[in-house]
Structure 1
Amino acid sequence: MNADFVSGLAKRMSPGRRYLVGVSGGRDSVALLHALHAAGFGRLVVCHVNHGLRGRASGEDARFVGRLAKQMGYPYSGDRVDVLRLAKQRRLSLETAAR
């Protein structure tokens, strides 16, 4: 991850404060988590929402993020949301329902 980006984060955020970090399991969010860790952010809580949109892969992402949080010494909070059902019930687009 770009060193300027990481130093910019450290200037705008206090490493001693607690932050929730949403981690999808993709490259970008995993890189962000590693960058925050390397910058000394020790009080992170890693969060993941399994939207269930990609079948088995969705569950694998959730397990991966949970393991990663544990390996890095951070608490993990994960939840599963049936986005398809929510979108139909509330007549929303999938993207809006997932947010």
Structure 2
Amino acid sequence: MKAIWNNQVIAESNDTIVVENNHYFPKESVKTEYLQETDIHTTCPWKGKASYYTLVVDGKENQDAAWYYPEPKEAAANITNYVAFWKGVKITE
């Protein structure tokens, strides 16, 4: 699977985990040079507290377009160190 935004592959892996129709990519498969940590957090009742990244590719920004769970609840422990995308990031095979 690939995560693509602004004509760049942000992440690529054969080992994504699908949760609630979102592909979570292993952190090591994500090109971290495109990620900027943000101060945004949301809470999922069963996954826990999510943190976000803004994507920065070729001078363009996509605010809070990637998220991850630094310390997921037990029910979502399988997505520890995984990152998911939205806001126009294309997920393709």
| TM-score normalised to structure 2 length | 0.24
| Higher alpha-carbon Rg | 1
Structure with a larger share of its residues in helix: 1
| TM-score normalised to structure 1 length | 0.23
Structure with a larger share of its residues in strand: 2
Q: Which has the higher contact order (CA 8 A, sep 6+)?
A: 2
